Amino acid sequence: MIPIYYFLILSAVLFVMGTVGFLIKKDLITQFMCVEVMLNAANVAFIAFARSASSLNGQIIVFFIITVAAAEAAVGLAIILLVYRQKKSIKTEDSSLMKG
Amino acid sequence: MIDIFWLIPLVPALSTLILAVFGEKLPKKYISFQACGAVFISFLISLYSFLGLLKVSPEEYPIVKNLFTWIHSGNFQANLSFQFDPLTAVMALVVTAVGFLIHVYSIGYMAEDRSYSRFFTLMNLFTFSMLVLVMASNLVLMFVGWEGVGFCSYMLIGFWFEKHSAANAGKKAFIVNRIGDAGFLIGMLFILVYVGSTEFSNINNAVAGGSLSHGLVTLIAILLFVGATGKSAQIPLYVWLPDAMEGPTPVSALIHAATMVTAGVYMVARMNIFYTTSETAGSVVAIIGAVTAVYAGTMALTQNDIKRVLAYSTISQIGYMFIGCGVGAYAAGIFHLYTHAFFKSLLFLAAGSVMHALSGELDMRKMGGLKKYLPYTYPTFLIGAIAIAGVPFLSGFFSKDAILTSAFAQGQYFVWILGILGAVLTAFYMFRLIFLTFHGKERIEPEVKKHIHESPPVMTVPLAVLAFFSVIAGYIGLPVVLGKNVNWFDRFLAPIMHKGHEAHLTIGTEWLLILISVIVALTGIFIAYFFYLKKPSVPHTLVRRFPFLYRLLYNKYYIDEAYDYLFVRPTLKGSEFVYDKFDINIIDGAVNGAASGTGFFGKVLSFLQTGFIKDYALVFLLGAVILLGLLIF
């Protein structure tokens, strides 16, 4: 059996990739995909723990996360589309209305 | 049959309400009818209750009608309750009788005024307030009436508020009265604290039972008297009354001569137990009254404004009433109040009739020889002047003599001498007024002379009625020399007046005092005759000989100016200073500072808001790391 820390390392690597990607990328679609990566990193960790603990709880939470991710994708893409219509750009630095 | 007396103040109150709400829309005829009718009904009820009172035995005084409990808080209770006793009966009759005649007179005098309904609303409101004042059975309700008449006085002095001087005179009256009211209020609070009740019967019992220390009684008496000096225009708070002549003449007659200004005298008489118990307070009242009587009389000597002469004469006469109250002869003081109400309102109304005839002229230097133009006003004016001068057989003689005799009997010789001096002055300035106005050669301006006319009957009939009473009113209080029990007035009031130590004069002394009064009055009249008819050059010579004295009197001892410098200006300066420095800098500064401080911090904090998602995400991550760190370590 593959030891659990392999999965955890994979999860950590994916999460850091997602975070760093979110922070350094400048267009919304990419950042959005980075968020998906982070969510799936969490999924991997949950599955691994569920498997090693022989409990279904972790798997159920994963289902919830996938559902939330799907909903998020729908809403997020719609927002991005609207931002594009308004600004003709999906670069984050072009939409800074919250600047004080 | 007496138990309907509590309706007396309510009839004018109802009328006031109707006039205040619908007055502008009602026709003038109806307004006059209702306003006069309400006061007349009050008068009839007063008369009815008075007749009922005569049948009640003195042990049952006062008859109290408690309508409801008005204030109840802790130990303190004040009722809306009216009382009826001889003193109230006299006051209610004077207020409603004189008030009714003046209301009728006003129909003619105010006929052309465009604020006709406002005038009658306020007159009725005044009658109501005055009746509350004299009928209240406790100090709190009395204070309501007290303030009510003050308010009406303010409104009516400033009735022609387009005129700057009238508006100012109204303010002056109100503010000066407020100073007196402060004294009254403090006195009332003392009574409330030490007696625990403001009902007159309880106060009387407490003071008579000796539960208040002597010093406290004196203090309360003096404080209440401060209130009286404000309302009744005595030294040092008399300054508002001459200026109050800016109001319409019927107002001067009703409020500033016959009724409201005597409220202070009424109050002192009502609280007579204090002034009997504390001789110090009694002497203060008598001396202030006597000094005022002479002092105001001297100021009346040089005035040329017909109404101002009468105003100073009112101050002087109220001084006499206070002499009476101060020496313990409360009945004599009230007696003078009662006779004064008739002849002084007569004089004012007759003066109003003169003004009416001369298109509003007030300056006596522009009158003279009016006798033949005003066949009704002249005789009535003359009767009023004779009555006030103290010529025998008219009302003023009996009341003034009763006061001076009491002062002499009590050994207050200083007060008596001042009183006699005041009597000479009174006779002199009243006849100066008569001679300058009605006799001598005409000094009327030609333009005015074209319109000269006698007043309509609606004005002259009240004059005639008042003149009639000015003659006969004194006969209910005949001096003691004519018999032991002829002073009905004294006996009527005796049950509610607390006698100090009695002092009797021999019949010979009494006659001598009466003789002195008569000589004094006739001397004053003769001097006036000599100065203003016989040798009109004498006054001018005197003015040239004593220019300083003349200027001092003409400018009313510069008291107005002195008050202006001492009190009015420092107050204004102080207010301006406070406004400039404190209000603008500190109060406004604090408010504006709070606003701009908030704005400043907002600006500083807004630098954190870059609007870039990355920055927010970074902060978010940082926060998550810190939280995680806290959880783990």
How many A/B residue pairs have CB atoms within 8 Å? 28
Question: What backbone torsions phi and psi does residue B212 show, to the nearest 5 degrees?
Answer: -110, 140
* pLDDT for the residue B445: 82
What amino acid occupies position A16? V
3-state DSSP call for residue B393?
A: coil
Task: Answer yes or no: is pLDDT of B501 > 80.
Answer: no
Which candidate, B183, B91, B94, B97, places its Cα nearest to that of B136? B91
Nearest to B351 by CA among B375, B380, B372, B373: B380
CB contact under 8 A, B611 and A96: yes
Check if the interface score ipTM surpasses 0.90. Answer: no
State the burial class of residue A36 (Cβ atoms within 10 Å of its Cβ: 0-12, 13-18, 19+).
middle
Largest CA distance in chain B: 121
Q: Å from A52 to nearest chain B CA?
A: 23
pTM given for the model: 0.81
Question: Hey, what's the torsion of the CAs at B246, B249, B250, B255, to 10 degrees?
Answer: 40
Per-residue pLDDT tens for A23-40? 888 888 999 999 999 999
* Chain A neighbors of B613, CB-CB under 8 A: 31, 92
pLDDT in tens, B165-184: 999 999 999 999 999 999 99
pLDDT in tens, B180-231: 999 999 999 999 989 888 899 889 888 888 888 889 999 999 999 999 999 9
Helical segments of B451-581, H only? 457-472, 488-493, 507-529, 537-545, 547-554, 559-563, 569-577
For A86, half-sphere exposure in the C-beta direction (CA atoms, 13 angstrom radius) is: 13
Of the pLDDT bands very low, low, confident and very high (cuts 50, 70, 90), residue B1 is low
Task: Find the residue in A nearest to B613 (Cα).
Answer: A92
The tens digit of pLDDT for each residue in B49-74 reads 999 888 888 887 888 888 889 888 88
pLDDT band at B614 (very low <50, low <70, confident <90, very high): confident
CATH number at residue A41: 1.10.287.3510
Q: For residue A98, is it within any domain?
A: no
What residue numbers bound the domain in which A72 lies?
4-87
Q: Would residue A32 count as lying in a domain?
A: yes
Q: For position B595, what pLDDT does the model report? A: 94
At a CB cut-off of 8 Å and minimum separation 6, what does A50 contact? A56, A57, A58, A59, A62
Hey, is the C-beta of A85 within 8 angstroms of any chain B C-beta?
A: no
The pLDDT, as a whole number, for residue B429 is: 93
Residue B78 sits at φ, ψ, to 5 deg, of -130, 130
Give a yes or no: residue A37 inside a domain.
yes
Tokens of B233: 């225009």
User: Total structural domains in chain A?
Assistant: 1
In a domain, A94, yes or no: no
Neighbouring CB atoms inside 10 A of B277's CB total 19
- In one-letter notation, the amino acid at residue B627 is L
Q: Could you tell me where the beta strands, DSSP code E, fall in B39-176? A: 63-73, 76-84
What is the gyration radius of the CA atoms in chain B, in angstroms? 30
Q: What is the pLDDT of residues B72-110, one digit of tens each?
A: 888 888 889 999 989 999 999 999 999 999 999 999 898
Cα separation values, A74 from A15, A60, B52, B219, Å: 22, 22, 99, 90
pLDDT for the residue numbered B319: 94
Residues of A in contact with B606 (CB under 8 A): 100
| Residue B121: how many other CB atoms lie within 10 Å | 24
For chain A, say whether B621 makes contact (Cβ under 8 Å).
yes
User: Does residue B606 sit at the A interface (CB-CB below 8 Å)?
Assistant: yes
Computed over every residue of chain B, the mean pLDDT equals 89
Residue A96 covered by a domain = no
- In a domain, residue A31? The reply is yes
What b/e readout covers B128-138, taking b as 16+ CB neighbours within 10 angstroms?
bbbbbbbbbbb
Contact B42, B9 (CB under 8 A): yes
> What residue type is A93 in one-letter code?
E
Indicate whether A55 belongs to any domain: yes
- Structural domain includes residue A100: no
Asked if residue B485 has pLDDT above 80, the reply is no
